[in-house]
Chain A
């Protein structure tokens, strides 16, 4: 069966520090991968998505970047965090068909102080 792992679950970082959130998927190959950010009680804002190794699409200009160094690994990074980067970050994967569902990790609560 497929599983998705996202870590860490919570993170408190000072302004100006770097960030690296990692997400890995098991039990499937060539998944679509996603990074979303969610404000409290609100919808998911698509940050990045990837259909293959090294292929990253960015949805919004921001202080973050994403990389996919391996087929089932998706990394969200920042060189210098801003206060506005605080939020709930969710990694997800889906199959490559049009009708397949997205499966989400447990999320990372990032607080920039």
Chain B
């Protein structure tokens, strides 16, 4: 059974601080995605990483895929109150279209003004 361990589960910081969220698994991902979810809504995709060692940037967000494609991180620079939300990593497993997309437990981020 594939599992995604996401840490920390909760994070409360002041505006302007930096933070990193981690996503780890003992299994190899074919791709890994990061989503952000607002209360009462479905998650929305932020980024997809595919290649081991890949780094992608989205404004103040930096996403990194581990060399072995078993782990990933999300780093936010100078967090803003608008970054508050639930951040989820998700991994696709297997070659070909297995259809299986597993999510981590989520990180609830609160950025205080």
Contact = CB atoms under 8 A, between A and B. Distances in A.
Contacts of A107: 40-42
Interface of chain A: mostly helix, strand, loop or mixed: strand
Interface centre among A45, A104, A109 (most CB of B within 10 A): A104
Contact of B99 (A43, A45, A49): A49
Interface in B67-107: 86, 88, 90, 92, 95-106
B99 A101 contact: no
A42 B87 CA distance: 9
B25 interface: no
A102 B35 CA distance: 9
Contact of B97 (A44, A51, A90, A106): A51
Central interface residue in B42, B86, B95, B102, by most chain A CB within 10 Å: B42
B27 interface: no
Interface in B8-55: 30-31, 33, 35, 40-45, 48, 50
Contacts of B90: 44, 102
Contacts of A111: none
A107 B105 CA distance: 18
B108 interface: yes
Given A101-B45, A105-B42, A106-B42, A43 B31 contact: no
Interface of A: 32, 34, 36, 41-46, 49-51, 57, 90, 92, 94, 96-99, 101-107, 109
20 contacts: A43-B4, A43-B6, A43-B104, A44-B43, A44-B88, A44-B90, A49-B99, A50-B99, A57-B100, A90-B43, A92-B101, A96-B99, A98-B31, A98-B97, A99-B50, A101-B48, A104-B44, A105-B42, A107-B41, A109-B40
Interface of B: 4, 6, 30-31, 33, 35, 40-45, 48, 50, 86, 88, 90, 92, 95-106, 108
